Amino acid sequence: MEKVLGLVMTGGGARGAYQAGVLKRLGEIKQLQGSANPFPIIGGASAGAINGSALAMGSDDFPQATKVLAKLWGTLKPSDVFRCDFVSQAHNSLVWILDLSFGGALGGGNARSLLDATPLRHYLRDHLDCSRIQDNIKRGHLYALAISATNYNSGKSYLFIQGQKGHPMWNRSRRVTLATKITVEHVCASAAIPLVFQPVKLETPKGTAFFGDGCLRLQQPLSPVIRLGAEKIVAIGVRCENREHQVDESSQKDPSLAQVMGILFNVMFLDHLATDVEHLERLNQLMRSGQIKHAGVEGYEQMRPLTVLQVTPSANLTEIAARHQKEMPYLIQYFVNSLGRDAASCSDLMSYLLFTPKYTRDLIELGYHDADNRIDEIEDYLFADGGSSKGAGSLRARKSRDAEALQKRARSRRADLLTGFRNRAVIGGALP
């Protein structure tokens, strides 16, 4: 029986260009030419929400959608993402100075972010036609798109889902799911890096709230696509696994603010996906060895083995960013460097903010070559159920069967709820 494929992409600011490179190579797979999207379920957060929405919008022609996405990342400029002019930076700096110096006496809270990301909203509106997402869902090219954002008013993680009628819905402690038509505003909210970009106002069933980066509270990034029915997952991360084996360096200097922010962003954007994949693989081992029973507990959803193919950078993106720091507009470069004692201490932070064409092109090229080096493994994983020898026709037939299977699964879950069962998936760390 063919298994439903899901795609997961997490955040990372400018590091999202790496994901575009991986997707570009996937779009060149021979079996996918002339076919629609091979991933009926797409989940994304932060930069992954941008990439996921672009794929959902172009899911009727996956190869072309990946080419367009890579081209957009390769031509992106800092001024497309945040304001770089002197007036804007001077105003923003003055607001911060007044808040920090006189906020206690005069009333503070006026500073919203270090940078003004208003241009990003305009850029995405020009290049993302979110109305096409629903069209592709109706035509069977997509089952569901799920993007995450963090509600700053309540502190809860919100998952916005646009999918076929009857798709699964669930709520957990500090986690809320909403079925809605995803717009550019939702994407901007998911990509609003905390402290760096201003929060985005969204309407919810309970009223207006302000949202920020989806990775902030998304500790199990595989969870949304699993709950939506994915049985095989391709996860594209932006953390270099080779870096984990480096020897710790000693230093007598206190860490700069830029270093601390860089580490915080690494924890938020990089660590959760790797940890979730490790946890899921461990649970699969326990199920295979018989230490955990698939049947689970009465009243809970049956456990099932899940496989994940993770693609991550083969090179340290921080080191690549260090080579491109001088390409940043002078005012932004001066501002970021003021948070660190030297360029090296700002490299981690810069790797998320360096929206310059040369840097993003390097990441696209790296992602493309990393996927190319593993293309046989990736093809085997994508088409292990027999789709590889039958081309686009088989993929379209499989997508139709996948949609039917997902709808049946969703109806079964609703039936469980009506009989009083707690619809809670026991997938350990992969499902909260």
Average pLDDT of the residues in 384-406: 50
Q: Which of 124, 142, 125, 146 is nearest to 133 (CA)?
A: 142
| Among 154-163, 238-247, 263-272, 338-347, the least confident range | 238-247
Quick one: CA dihedral 311, 317, 319, 324, positive or negative? positive
Q: Which two tokens stand for residue 280?
A: 């899921």
* pLDDT for residue 432: 46
Higher pLDDT, 424 or 172: 172
Average pLDDT of the residues in 400-428: 49
Give the pLDDT band of residue 89 (cuts 50, 70, 90).
confident
* pLDDT for residue 341: 64
DSSP state letter for 424: -
Asked if residue 366 lies in contact with residue 320, where contact means CB atoms within 8 angstroms, the answer is yes
Average pLDDT of the residues in 228-257: 75
Average pLDDT of the residues in 185-210: 93
Higher pLDDT, 22 or 105: 22
User: Is 64 buried (19+), middle (13-18) or exposed (0-12) by CB count in 10 A?
Assistant: exposed
CA distance 314 to 21: 13
Asked if residue 294 lies in contact with residue 302, where contact means CB atoms within 8 angstroms, the answer is yes
Q: In sequence order, what DSSP letters do the residues of 76-122 get, joined into one string?
A: --HHHHS--SHHHHHHHHHHHHHHHHHHHHH-------SS--HHHHH
* pLDDT for residue 120: 96
Find the angle CA(428)-CA(430)-CA(432) to the nearest 5 degrees: 70
Higher pLDDT, 296 or 226: 226
State pLDDT tens for residues 298-333. 545 566 778 899 999 999 999 999 899 889 888 888
Higher pLDDT, 95 or 64: 64
* pLDDT for residue 422: 39
**Position 228 pLDDT exceeds 80:** yes
* pLDDT for residue 282: 84
Give the pLDDT band of residue 428 (cuts 50, 70, 90).
very low
User: Is 99 buried (19+), middle (13-18) or exposed (0-12) by CB count in 10 A?
Assistant: middle
Q: How many helices (H) and strands (E) does the chain have?
A: 17, 9
* pLDDT for residue 315: 93
Average pLDDT of the residues in 249-273: 77
Q: Which of 171, 178, 174 is nearest to 156 (CA)?
A: 174
Average pLDDT of the residues in 201-218: 91
* pLDDT for residue 420: 42
Q: In sequence order, what DSSP letters do the residues of 362-385 get, joined into one string?
A: HHHHHHHHHHHHTHHHHHHHHTTT
Average pLDDT of the residues in 230-234: 93
**Position 198 pLDDT exceeds 50:** yes
Asked if residue 322 lies in contact with residue 348, where contact means CB atoms within 8 angstroms, the answer is no
* pLDDT for residue 145: 97
* pLDDT for residue 72: 97
Higher pLDDT, 391 or 403: 403
* pLDDT for residue 345: 66
State pLDDT tens for residues 359-369. 999 999 999 99
| Among 82-91, 101-110, 246-255, the least confident range | 246-255
Asked if residue 23 lies in contact with residue 236, where contact means CB atoms within 8 angstroms, the answer is yes
* pLDDT for residue 99: 80
Tell me the pLDDT of the chain averaged across its residues.
83
**Position 30 pLDDT exceeds 70:** yes
* pLDDT for residue 423: 40
**Position 240 pLDDT exceeds 50:** yes
Higher pLDDT, 347 or 228: 228
Backbone angles phi, psi at 165, to 5 degrees: -55, 130
Instruction: Of 10-14, 51-55, 252-256, give the range with the top mean pLDDT.
Output: 51-55
Higher pLDDT, 133 or 215: 133
Report the share of the chain in percent with pLDDT over 90: 50
